[in-house]
Structure 1
Amino acid sequence: MNEEVYARQGFGADMAVAPPFGLLIVDFVNGFADPGIFGGGNIPDAIAATQGLLQEARRRCWPVAHSRIVFADDDADQNIFSRKVPGMLTLKEDSLASAIVPELKPAAGELVIRKTVPSAFFGTTLAAWLTQRGVSTLLVAGCVTSGCVRASVVDAMSLGFTPLVVTDCVGDRASGPHEASLFDMQQKYAMVMSCESALGACAMAG
């Protein structure tokens, strides 16, 4: 990647993180944790790292939202996404593959969004829920970096939230799309930091 071109054209500016903070965990479900279904790559490592991030978010009393891909049992809501990736239709409300991994089980008061497209914001109540809780900076974890994470980050930015992508807490089934997407989000849409750096920046900001 030619970072000099991006810098010369004015991309990649730093943005200040500001409270209130929130956390969005995108699609860390059993099917994406399993390389035999939709997983692979560094997704298991990202799930492990997100446990500490989630614990800290709860300790700091941040609003926390999770997302799952859930299609109707009769496929009545099948769409272009499921036509492109037909296996997505196996993710039903009661399917084990669609359940959030036990390590990140939502706690009482945390929002669980069900979606049928990549973005956790599109056609859901997530933006209103975060707005009602005053969230300004939204930390983002989840998978996959090049798909549902990136789509959710772009929508978060478009809706006026400052996205902060936590690098060790997002994963993809292949390193190429993962690294390229982190670079692209840093240049255009979000702040991109390690978990340690992100939590430190949030603490300094109040």
Structure 2
Amino acid sequence: MSHDLDTYRRQSFGAALEPVAPVGLLIVDFVNGFADPDVFGGGNIAPAIERTVPLLAAARSRGWPVAHTRIVFADDDADGNIFTAKVPGLLALKEHAHDSAIVPELTPWAGELVVRKTGPSAFFGTPLAAWLTQHGVRTLAIAGAVTSGCVRASVVDAMQYGFRPFVLSDCVGDRAIAPHDANLFDMAQKYAAVLARDDALEILDRAK
């Protein structure tokens, strides 16, 4: 890994990313199905959810705009796509399905956006970017599941829309640790700041 880091640094990857106020919070797909190892969960997703509970409380106390995402498909599967061709079980995530519901400990409050999506990114084909812009967000703290999939896709799109992504490394989880670690490394080199929750909050509180 040290040799890899030398290569990345020599090629100017991994520069520091400073936050710019206002800050918002995006929680990606922390739903019952991803909390359950027998459905779509496992790995370190459960502890990531636990770490996100106080994060959400901190965001609310600071008045940050908060958005949550769910994967939701039509009852008749009319919006099935290539994502569901690769992962057919995702079609079970319907509007009123238990596995598609946000975990109770992270239940959205009134005024928080709940994004329904049918692809990995929280932004693709959704109103999220416009909503964040309407609320003045410049820097986006990101938690959720899974690190190598929907979190990564959302981070890349956040960056492309001009939001500064801050990935909270202990508030994101994956069903397997190797892709979790690899994607945190890669996002830190190319797309985002990657910091543990408490360190990130300290830095985000200094955003100007």
Instruction: Normalising by structure 2, report the TM-score.
Output: 0.98
Find 1:24's aligned residue among 7, 23, 26: 26
Are 1:69 and 2:75 an aligned pair?
no
Deviations 1:74-93 (A, max 9, x none): 00000000000000000000
- The ranges of structure 1 where at least 4 consecutive aligned residues each deviate by more than 2 angstroms after the TM superposition are none
Correspondence list, 1:44-193, <5 A:
44-193=46-195
2:39 and 2:116 map into 1 onto residues whose CA distance is: 19
* Residue range with higher mean Cα deviation, 40-49 or 195-204: 195-204
Cα RMSD for the two superposed structures: 0.6
Amino acid aligned to 1:167: S
CA contact (8 A) 2:69 2:116 kept: yes
Amino acid aligned to 1:51: V
Tell me, which stretches of 5 or more residues in structure 2 are unaligned?
Answer: none
2:131 and 2:122 map into 1 onto residues whose CA distance is: 12
Are 1:38 and 2:40 an aligned pair?
yes
**Displacement of 1:18:** 1.3
Amino acid aligned to 1:81: F
CA contact (8 A) 2:22 2:207 kept: no
Give identity over the alignment, percent. Answer: 67
- Where 1:165 maps in the other structure, the secondary structure is strand
**Displacement of 1:205:** 2.2
Residues matched between the structures, number: 206
- Where 2:102 maps in the other structure, the secondary structure is coil
1:180 and 1:149 map into 2 onto residues whose CA distance is: 13
**Displacement of 1:204:** 1.9
